[in-house]
Structure 1
């Protein structure tokens, strides 16, 4: 078990004081058998009234109604979580890999619904040929095929940091053989659905115990990966950016059908057009050395605080 501290700071800057519309935030994870939320605080530099709800996927949603104007808005989320090592993929109910092609039950097919969009529909010829070659190279069970797909994306595609909010289509990512973690997650999901798997998008954070020397990509910002539903195993995590499978380095915050539904913070401002200067995002994930020193769980609050100094560059998953 790892106990981890996560700090996610977002700062918006404007050329003049502006007011704000409602901001929708997906920053608090839900407890599971793999991860327990020990401590969570949410602080804003401008006073706000918070409303807590769940979305259609069961994610925790916080809506902030801000009071007043400012030329700099800072939102800081601090989490402390306990992350447990996952069960090995081979340890299913049957003690073996899941047979491929999959045979979802009628209930599973209904419940997976849109997570199966594109199932069985071929891609354009070049991408389809690549998918068929990957399938042939990793013939066998479903987990072996998905693990092979994850590793081939990790080894054959180049990671890049992109500041645009959009996510590339599978065809675009394949054509460029490069992308950000959200592009690789969307590409993996598209291929998995093509092969008949129910797959969904995951947004969260990456823990790099080396502090940047391990070669892991995506630390220092929000991170994105995929989950695939396997009968007997449930939802299994695949991070094609780093070649990770069911890893305790992944800290899940939200799951959605498509990437655009998983933005950590979304909102608007009211002011002169062109007043927006920029957005700065910084994420730190650190191990808590002594679990005995961990604080007890407080309620989430939105309290006024001094605006934080932003990181030197914006980073986006």
Structure 2
């Protein structure tokens, strides 16, 4: 068990005071059997005239903010303390019917999983599916769990990570062709690839914790992050992070789980002003831990999850 403390600050700056339209934020961690929010605070400047909390169709916590005055800056700061129980990847036992791939989910689960199996992007020429089938063919016995781990490793080891600040996500086929992408792009590529073979997958956005002095690990120190979950009978939704090649939830704080990554924007809204008013935005995220005792212990635990 570990305690993670997170501070996420977003600031929008304008040349002169502007009027703000409705803003929606996905900044509160999800509650689940392995993740619990112990404390949560949201500071917004200027102070909204109205704040309401909602739950979207995927069970994510959404805060809706309405404003009644102009300001030259919008600042949103979310601070949270999360208790996490790492998933033990060393004792995964799948039912015999799903141990080899391809397989079919139990009939009673299909109404709930169908939209997560459905491809979300076009795959002209079937390149993404062909790539997934090659990895499956290379997996001894076409073992389902081994296949998922092998694909996770293939992206981590065979693609170049780039930090993209611009909005949006590359198509899975574009990431496959270029061999490079951000964490969002890698999550979408793996989700689309496993969906092509009948797995139910969903996109996850949230936060990543990594000790600061482990510089060989991508995104060391903590940041916003994206990965995916795959549903496995008798196990549930399992986290796969193809950016790092890690399996399991250790150090990954889920904020939103969605079918389509466009549904997981951390903060969205509008403003009314002159076209040249917008000066830019900044995002600062800090993630610290009270439970992952030392960097060496962290790396050892993560190595066991690969």
Aligned to 2:36: 36
C-alpha distance in 1 between matches for 2:103 and 2:175: 26
- TM-score (normalizing by structure 2): 0.88
- Native 8 Å contact 2:117 2:199 kept in 1: yes
Large movers: runs of 4+ above 6 Å: none
Using the TM superposition, name which of 135-144 and 185-194 deviates more.
135-144
Shift in Å, 1:46: 0.6
Q: Which runs of 5+ in 2 are unaligned?
A: 293-306
Q: What does residue 254 of structure 1 align with?
A: 256
**Partner secondary structure for residue 213 of structure 1:** coil
Residues 51 and 63, structure 2, Cα contact 8 Å, conserved in 1:
yes
TM-score with structure 1 length normalisation? 0.85
Q: 1:211 to 1:41 in 2, by over 3 A?
A: farther
Equivalent residue for 2:191? 189
Per-residue Cα deviation, 1:53-108 (whole angstroms, up to 9, x for no partner): 10000000100112311111110000101111113264336599733222201222
Matched with 2:108 is 107
Q: Select between 215-224 and 61-70 the one with higher mean Cα deviation.
A: 215-224
The answer to whether residue 77 in structure 2 is matched with residue 76 in structure 1 is yes
Relative to structure 1, the CA distance from residue 89 to residue 188 in structure 2 (aligned partners, 3 Å threshold; closer, same or farther) is farther
Q: What count of residue pairs does the alignment treat as equivalent?
A: 289
Structure in which a larger fraction of residues adopt helix: 2
Q: Tell me how far apart the structure 2 counterparts of residues 61 and 241 of structure 1 sit (CA, whole Å).
A: 26
Whether the 8 Å contact between 1:19 and 1:271 is mirrored in structure 2 is yes
- Does the residue aligned with 2:223 lie in a helix, a strand or coil? coil
Q: 2:207 maps to which residue?
A: 205
Contact 1:221-1:281 within 8 A present in 2 as well = no
Native 8 Å contact 2:129 2:193 kept in 1: no
Q: Secondary structure at the match of 1:202?
A: strand
Alignment partner for residue 221 of structure 1, among 217, 220, 223? Answer: 223
Q: Does the 8 Å contact 1:89/1:233 carry over to 2? A: no
Q: Does 1:153 align with 2:155?
A: yes
TM-align CA RMSD? 2.2
| Alpha-carbon distance between aligned partners in 1 of 2:255 and 2:33, rounded to the nearest angstrom | 14
Rounded to whole Å, the distance in 2 between the matches of 1:170 and 1:136 is: 20
Cα distance change of structure 1 residues 242 and 74 upon mapping to structure 2, 3 Å threshold: same
Cα deviation digits, residues 221-247 of structure 1 (max 9, x gap): 310000010111110000000101113
User: What secondary structure does 1:251 align onto?
Assistant: strand
Q: CA deviation at 1:127?
A: 4.1
